[in-house]
């Protein structure tokens, strides 16, 4: 389990489902020694006590105080990761789901921590946060610079941005999310979902620069935007008054989709702008 502590009393509280007392005990231990694994335990306790926001914030603290020991994945594991990446990036294309492909791999190789980033994502999507903490934390300690590590921390910051109420807290988590999503984009420019996350996270003051960063990155990486999403990016460029960039993206889209009514309509919109 994720709950660690310096005494059996804490375990007894958890066994009884007495999470509020267990949380207080864990906070007391953290005040004495603010260790990463204790923040991780506190995160799990908050989730069990149905205090999701505090659980996510404690997990973010666990990652900030962690001391990763960087490793390099074996060739075998890296090959498997590269095989599963398209299944993760384009779930609609495949015959088998990511989960169907991943389950037997992790059953045979429970030590494949690089692959467990996928498992962490699947858990987070199902809102199984304690499971997500467990998978992600272990993977993060070995591979903090993996694109999936950056992306998941961006998503974590986004979840907190949606939940917190104070303006300064919102600003903090917005900056965190933008920073991690950008790092993820640099590592994996082909992950088209990241660009939308970035643009939707950006505040008014970062909008123009963020839209520019995203569209330039999409064009440079030749990252094919699904046909139905091209209008989103064109509208964003026009909203920040960057007609030249809208033109540039539309020209790129023409190389992906030779003929398309959407592209003709967008060309008209740009001309009229």
User: What does the pLDDT look like over 18-55, one tens digit per residue?
Assistant: 899 999 999 999 999 999 999 999 999 999 999 999 99
- Residue 228 exposed, middle or buried by CB count within 10 Å (0-12, 13-18, 19+): exposed
Residue 113, token pair as written in the block: 């921590």
Q: Give CA–CA dist 120/102, Å, rounded.
A: 11
Q: Give CA–CA dist 216/49, Å, rounded.
A: 44
Helix ranges restricted to H, the chain: 8-16, 19-32, 36-48, 52-65, 75-89, 98-108, 116-125, 129-142, 147-163, 167-187, 193-201, 207-221, 230-239, 243-256, 261-272
- What's the pTM value of the predicted model, to 2 decimals? 0.92
Give the residue among 124, 125, 123, 112 at the shortest CA–CA distance from 83.
Answer: 112
Residue 206, token pair as written in the block: 């970062």
Q: Mean pLDDT in the chain?
A: 93
Residue 272, token pair as written in the block: 């009229």
Residue 40, token pair as written in the block: 């991780």
> What's the pLDDT tens digit per position in 142-187?
999 999 999 999 999 999 999 999 999 999 999 999 999 999 999 9
pLDDT of residue 17: 84
Query: What is the average per-residue pLDDT within 225-241?
Result: 94
Q: Give CA–CA dist 79/220, Å, rounded.
A: 25
pLDDT of residue 96: 83
Dmax over CA atoms of the chain, in Å, equals 71
Helices (H) and strands (E) in the chain, counts: 15, 0
Share of the chain above pLDDT 70, in %: 97
User: Is the confidence at residue 2, as pLDDT, over 70?
Assistant: no
């Amino acid at each position: 389990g994720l709950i660690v502590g310096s005494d059996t009393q804490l375990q007894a509280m958890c066994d009884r489902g007495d999470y509020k007392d267990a949380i207080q005990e864990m906070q007391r231990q953290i005040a004495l020694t603010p260790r990463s694994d204790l923040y991780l335990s506190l995160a799990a306790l908050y989730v069990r006590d149905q205090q999701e926001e505090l659980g996510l914030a404690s997990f973010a603290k666990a990652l900030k105080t962690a001391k990763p020991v960087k490793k390099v994945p074996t060739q075998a594991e890296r090959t498997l990761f590269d095989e599963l990446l398209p299944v993760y990036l384009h779930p609609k294309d495949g015959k088998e789901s990511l989960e169907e492909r991943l389950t037997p791999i992790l059953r045979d190789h429970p030590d494949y921590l690089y692959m467990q980033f996928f498992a962490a994502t699947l858990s987070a999507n199902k809102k199984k946060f304690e499971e997500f903490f467990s998978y992600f934390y272990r993977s993060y300690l070995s591979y903090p610079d993996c694109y999936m590590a950056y992306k998941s921390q961006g998503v974590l910051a986004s979840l907190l941005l949606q939940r917190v109420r104070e303006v300064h807290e919102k600003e903090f988590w917005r900056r965190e999310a933008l920073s991690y999503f950008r790092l993820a984009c640099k590592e994996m420019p082909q992950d088209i979902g990241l660009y939308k996350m970035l643009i939707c996270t950006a505040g008014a003051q970062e909008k123009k620069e963020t839209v520019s960063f995203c569209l330039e990155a999409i064009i440079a990486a030749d990252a094919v935007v699904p046909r139905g999403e091209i209008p989103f990016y064109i509208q964003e460029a026009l909203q920040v008054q960057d007609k030249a960039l809208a033109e540039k993206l539309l020209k790129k889209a023409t190389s992906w989709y030779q003929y398309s009514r959407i592209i003709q309509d967008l060309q008209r919109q740009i001309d009229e702008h």
